[in-house]
Amino acid sequence: MDELIASVTKSLGLEPDVAQQAIGTVLRFLKENAPAEAGALLEKLTGSQEAIDAAPEAGGGGGLMGALGGLMGGGGAGGLMGLAGQLQGLGLGMGDIQGLAQDIFAKGNEVIGKEQMKKIASAIPGLDQYV
């Protein structure tokens, strides 16, 4: 996890605690929306539960994307929009969010392999466009 936090911190220019919260927010989303597929990633990514625990509570989401996500429901594209709203609440822009997803999926490819990461992306409609 430290390596992933350092990578996100460097690539997005975030403070380490914000990077950890952003990673945890994404991991929580994956855990809730692609449970079977995400289980292998969370199991093998040391420190994933700590990152999830450090992330702000889901639900509120910030900005327009959070509001739209709330209107569209929990899973699928609405869920992605809600996730984007939460990440915007941490100060990330849309480009940052895409970079964060790419960093997390690159680490996932390392840890559990590309095929497993493809299963995670395909379990959540619309996610594959961000990776």
**Which residue type does 55 have?**
A
**What's the start-to-end Cα distance of the chain, in Å?**
19
Identify the band that residue 127 occupies on the pLDDT scale cut at 50, 70 and 90.
confident
pLDDT for res 130: 67
The total number of residues shown for the chain amounts to 131
Phi (first) and psi of residue 87, to 5 degrees: -70, -35
Q: What is the pTM of this model?
A: 0.85
Going by pLDDT thresholds of 50, 70 and 90, the confidence category of residue 126 is: confident
Q: Quick one: pLDDT at residue 131? A: 65
Beta strands in 5-131 (DSSP E): none
- Return the higher-pLDDT residue of 57 and 21: 21
Rg (CA), the chain: 13
- Determine the Cα–Cα distance for residues 107 and 5; give it in Å rounded to an integer: 11
Q: Quote the pLDDT of residue 82.
A: 92
Q: How far apart are CA 54 and CA 17, in angstroms?
A: 9
Domain definitions of the chain by residue range: 2-130
Task: Give the pLDDT confidence of 40-59 residue by residue, as tens digits.
Answer: 999 999 999 999 999 998 76
Q: Quick one: pLDDT at residue 58?
A: 73
Q: Look at residue 104 and give its three-state secondary structure.
A: helix
